[in-house]
Structure 1
Amino acid sequence: MPLDYTHFLINFKRYEGTAGDAGLDLAQTIEAVGSRTDATFAVAPQTPDVRLLAEETSLPIVAQAIDAVEPGRGNGEISIQAVAAAGADGVLINHPESPDTLTDVEAFVAECASFGLESIVCVDSVEAGRAALAFDPDCLLFETPADIATGRAMTRSHPGRVEAFVAMVDLENPRTRVLLGGGITDAADVADALDSGADAAGAASAFMNADDRDAWLSAVADALTSG
């Protein structure tokens, strides 16, 4: 399914307990909270599990990364054709932990459009966001690598930077949505992200490290539906 806004994106990355059946169990927990609260969650599973989660849940599924490859000879890389066929709804592009060149970002955004996938381009500054907007992505995920997994959300540490970024996107390409990540820790951070003008928010470690994931998701869902 296409990604709805407003949503909360949970990236499984390579955390312990996110692969195979364990990852499916986590996704089903997320799905159950979303159904109960009418909030929209999306999940970025480990790549081999894209098809499993796409087939076994109703969650929007985002591929963590793709490689700049053409069909044909080669080994081990992940093609956009593969993640599209597996049932992905979107692709993370230029994530700080798997960066892409600007040339590849341009190509990936165009390929996502041709396959009907949401292009979510990760950027760490107003300048990088402006450069990516030239390619007309569906969404910019704004976060600084130094804030990832720190519990230090940019809305608290650098509110002016967030406001400047949202204003720049609204001015230069209002079709593109803004997803705020990097240090999002709890429901209050999600509410702050939406109040700052972001269209969505996301996290990885905050969800994985939550003592009670159901309660954590429920609080986030309340922030999503109240924003």
Structure 2
Amino acid sequence: MIGKREMALILLNLKAYEQGIGEKAETLASIAGELAKSSGVRIVISPQATDIAAVSKIVETFAQHVDSAPLGAQTGSILPESAKAAGATGSLLNHAERQISDDDIKTGVARLKALEMESMVCASTPELAAKYAEYGPTYIAIEPPELIGSGVSVSTANPDIVTESIEKVKAVNPSVKVVCGAGISSGEDLRKAIELGSEGALAASAFVKADDPKAVLEDLVGGLK
């Protein structure tokens, strides 16, 4: 298995699924926390902002999104400072379902870094991945939008986009880690992604909506063996 030292990451995005809200989010977090402890794999849950405080007491937690607005009169904004205060250690940025401008990505990465928080910027193409690598995020998740929620993983459907993204990102900033998203739903999907050079995975519906989310997560962790 990839050791904890290499910090392979499985990030589980609960999105706004009914199965991942409130107490249900805490139940999923408990599954993730127990498996993270027993396997030594870094597993992070990304719940809705209203659930960060509860979930972060159970397992490592990223926000699903943060705004670049400054502190102050910013009604409705989710600020990096608020996410950290609630217990998050990082945040997704620019998910296909919550896209933001390049300036906001750059500002968001910088704000998170200043707070000693991590960032995972989503990119749909190798070219965008390379562009975002210039901003110095912790992770870039390569996610062709047509594969999100499809059950067909990017590591299977389009392995070239994974390898090309990794090459382009590392050429710009070798410290930025690249993970696979979009359709990752099994240990086999994750195994293929790791073989291509990915340093982890971003998964969502396959875990959140599963009849047996524990079995799905155990399978994903098995892909790191």
Equivalent of 1:5 in 2, 7, 16: 7
Establish whether residue 41 from structure 1 lines up as the match of residue 14 from structure 2: no
Q: Do the aligned partners of 2:155 and 2:180 also contact (CA within 8 Å) in 1?
A: no
TM-score for both structures, normalised by structure 2: 0.94
Q: Does the residue aligned with 1:17 lie in a helix, a strand or coil?
A: helix
Tell me how far apart the structure 2 counterparts of residues 106 and 127 of structure 1 sit (CA, whole Å).
Answer: 16
Deviation at 1:111, TM superposition (A): 0.5
Measured on the aligned residues, the alpha-carbon RMSD in Å equals 1.4
Equivalent in the alignment of 1:160? 160
Equivalent in the alignment of 2:34? 32
1:167-197 Cα deviation digits (max 9, x unpaired) = 1122221100011100111110010111110
Tell me how far apart the structure 2 counterparts of residues 123 and 198 of structure 1 sit (CA, whole Å).
Answer: 14
Could you tell me which runs of 5 or more consecutive residues in structure 1 were left unpaired when the two chains were aligned. none
Tell me how far apart the structure 2 counterparts of residues 50 and 208 of structure 1 sit (CA, whole Å).
Answer: 16
Partner letter of residue 178 of structure 1? Answer: V
Tell me how far apart the structure 1 counterparts of residues 211 and 195 of structure 2 sit (CA, whole Å).
Answer: 27
Q: Do the aligned partners of 2:185 and 2:220 also contact (CA within 8 Å) in 1?
A: no
Deviation at 1:39, TM superposition (A): 2.1
Q: Does the residue aligned with 2:178 lie in a helix, a strand or coil?
A: strand
Equivalent in the alignment of 2:187? 187
Tell me how far apart the structure 1 counterparts of residues 56 and 223 of structure 2 sit (CA, whole Å).
Answer: 26
Establish whether residue 151 from structure 1 lines up as the match of residue 151 from structure 2: yes
Q: Do the aligned partners of 2:14 and 2:204 also contact (CA within 8 Å) in 1?
A: yes
Partner letter of residue 88 of structure 1? Answer: A
Equivalent in the alignment of 2:101? 101
Partner letter of residue 76 of structure 2? Answer: G
Q: Does the residue aligned with 2:18 lie in a helix, a strand or coil?
A: coil
Tell me how far apart the structure 2 counterparts of residues 114 and 9 of structure 1 sit (CA, whole Å).
Answer: 22
Could you tell me which runs of 5 or more consecutive residues in structure 2 were left unpaired when the two chains were aligned. none
Map of 1:65-214 to 2, 5 A cutoff? 65-214=65-214
Tell me how far apart the structure 1 counterparts of residues 161 and 79 of structure 2 sit (CA, whole Å).
Answer: 34
1:61-89 Cα deviation digits (max 9, x unpaired) = 11000112111113111111100111111
Relative to structure 1, the CA distance from residue 53 to residue 4 in structure 2 (aligned partners, 3 Å threshold; closer, same or farther) is farther
Q: Do the aligned partners of 2:125 and 2:142 also contact (CA within 8 Å) in 1?
A: yes
Tell me how far apart the structure 1 counterparts of residues 171 and 68 of structure 2 sit (CA, whole Å).
Answer: 30
Deviation at 1:121, TM superposition (A): 0.7
1:127-174 Cα deviation digits (max 9, x unpaired) = 111111111111101101110000111111111121111111222211
Identity score, percent: 29
Q: Do the aligned partners of 1:147 and 1:154 also contact (CA within 8 Å) in 2?
A: yes
Q: Do the aligned partners of 1:90 and 1:112 also contact (CA within 8 Å) in 2?
A: yes
Deviation at 1:4, TM superposition (A): 7.1
1:11-69 Cα deviation digits (max 9, x unpaired) = 000011212222111110111122222222110011111111112x1x22110001121
Q: Do the aligned partners of 1:37 and 1:218 also contact (CA within 8 Å) in 2?
A: no
TM-score for both structures, normalised by structure 1: 0.93
